[in-house]
Structure 1
Amino acid sequence: MPTPPRPSPAPKKPSPKKGAPKEGGSVKKPVLFGLVVVLAAGLLGFVSYRVTAPDGSASGTPAAATATEPDPDVYRELAGLARRDAGDKQAQGRADAPVVLIEYADFQCGYCGKFARDTEPELIERYVDDGTLRIEWRNFPIFGDASEAAARASWAAGRQGRFWAFHRAAYAEDAKAKGFGKERLRALARQAGVKDLDRFTRDADSTAATEAVGVDRQEAYRIGATSTPSFLVNGRPLAGAQPTAVFTQAIEAAAAEEANVGSAGDPAK
């Protein structure tokens, strides 16, 4: 009898590459967050264009009203990123404000400066001062070593209660052109009213500063943010230094939604 052919050896299962996500691992949620940010930010960007269209084609009904939106549960998870820590030096507004705007920004970002100078003061006056809005800052340095140094310096200024004064000084019209070298950062701290400049320098160079900035940056990457400024308004993504009207619309819509939930209960439950 002829000898039966030997079965071919089973192919070896390739070993996973170092650093590759494991099957069944928890990688889907960050990817999902990223997709939501891209979709929603693009959608809101289109709405902002329609609202401010130069050709007179703006409509009173936002395009978003007829668009398919992501699962509301994802927005709720994104809204959960608000820290609402009453002692947070990089936040302003009541910890229990119905609306939280989280900003991911870089001190070398021109559009971040535009938002800080042109839009944020109006939002503070209209919504933070009356208790509707809380603004939480996240350091998201993406433009190199100078951005990283400015982020650590802002954290150090915050250790002495002067984060927002430093923020204003660093985003002044001519601040970016002067750079963010060590002596320049110290000058900005002095301008911001930081009292102990030696402590400021130590804090800015500390491991704690590096770690704090790293936590903020990783949060930004985890939700899929790739540019500055990026925002979340009660979990709803908004990209870029949009016109003030886009922010007021988003804040008022979020406040109305929260008021509705508070008076009628969460319809999803």
Structure 2
Amino acid sequence: MVLNIAYIESTQALNRIILPYAAAQSPENLTLSTLISQGSPYQGNLNSSLVIIDFSDFQCYLCKRYVDNTEQQINSTYVQPGKAVYVFKHLPNRGFDSKNASIAAQCTNDQGKFWEFHKTLYADQGPIDSGWVNTENLKKFANEIPNMNITQFESCLDTKKYESFVDKDIAMANSLGFTETPSFIIMNSEGSNIEKIQGPKPFPIFKSIIDNLESKISNK
């Protein structure tokens, strides 16, 4: 089956028009403690008052653009200094191979290797559904990561252990009105103050929203 890229892009363009009028509601369980207890990959100090949630697809070229640029600045400015926790959620909607890549990435989280795998996939990203994240290549990528228990990883991937986990991430994204990648939530740890960002926006836009929310939280 041939993926109609033009159709996907036109659909995403339509979503960008419709989304501002959608009556999407934030899920009640959107709190840092719930995200962590459910097994979402994260970086940063869990005592931070700010949370950044990234909904992405490993085949998404816009996500790669964000990872190569803005994410690094967010990491050095907010995550590494302990000001924010960075949480990853799967939204595999760019191609047929995207979901399996998400399942594989979640499998690496069992061994504390998610962010290394995340870096590898975006560094080696190929054209959508060109086979670069087929099952064989996903296993090769995992094998390149130091100290990865490849037997454990392959068992996890082959049994699709985390398919339902990924499905729940997709459902969460939909409940938030997110239909394209990358999309983001900036919030406090209780999820009572939420800001949404869609698309690979430049760092100054993230900084403005994060700083404003941080000020709002600190003034309470």
Q: Does 1:175 align with 2:175?
A: no
Secondary structure of the 1:192 match is coil
CA RMSD of aligned residues (A): 2.6
Contact 1:132 1:255 in 2 (8 A): no
Q: Deviations over 1:114-151 (max 9, x none)?
A: 11111111111111111111111101111233101100
Match of 1:39 in 2: 20
- Out of 202, 212, 218, the residue aligned to residue 243 of structure 1 is 202
Question: Given residue 102 of structure 1, which amino acid in structure 2 is its aligned partner?
Answer: I
Q: 1:78 to 1:249 in 2, by over 3 A?
A: farther
Contact 1:89 1:163 in 2 (8 A): no
Match of 1:82 in 2: 31
Question: Given residue 198 of structure 1, which amino acid in structure 2 is its aligned partner?
Answer: T
Within 1, Cα distance between the matches of 2:49 and 2:164? Answer: 29
Contact 1:170 1:176 in 2 (8 A): no
Greater relative contact order: 1 or 2 (C-alpha under 8 angstroms, separation 6 or more)?
Answer: 2
Question: Given residue 243 of structure 1, which amino acid in structure 2 is its aligned partner?
Answer: P
Q: 1:83 to 1:247 in 2, by over 3 A?
A: same
Within 1, Cα distance between the matches of 2:117 and 2:136? Answer: 14
Secondary structure of the 1:200 match is helix
Contact 1:106 1:142 in 2 (8 A): yes
Q: How does 1:116-265 map to 2 (within 5 A)?
A: 116-172=67-123, 174-177=124-127, 179-193=132-146, 195-234=148-187, 235-261=194-220
Within 2, Cα distance between the matches of 1:212 and 1:122? Answer: 29
Q: Does 1:103 align with 2:54?
A: yes
Contact 2:58 2:125 in 1 (8 A): no
Within 2, Cα distance between the matches of 1:259 and 1:191? Answer: 43
Contact 1:155 1:204 in 2 (8 A): no
Q: 1:82 to 1:114 in 2, by over 3 A?
A: farther
Sequence identity (%): 25
Contact 1:231 1:239 in 2 (8 A): yes
Contact 1:157 1:194 in 2 (8 A): no
Equivalent residues, number: 192
The CA deviation at 1:78 is: 6.0
Within 1, Cα distance between the matches of 2:38 and 2:164? Answer: 18
Question: Given residue 220 of structure 1, which amino acid in structure 2 is its aligned partner?
Answer: A
Gaps of 5+ in 1: 1-33, 41-69, 262-269
TM-score, length-normalised on structure 2?
A: 0.79
Within 2, Cα distance between the matches of 1:220 and 1:194? Answer: 32
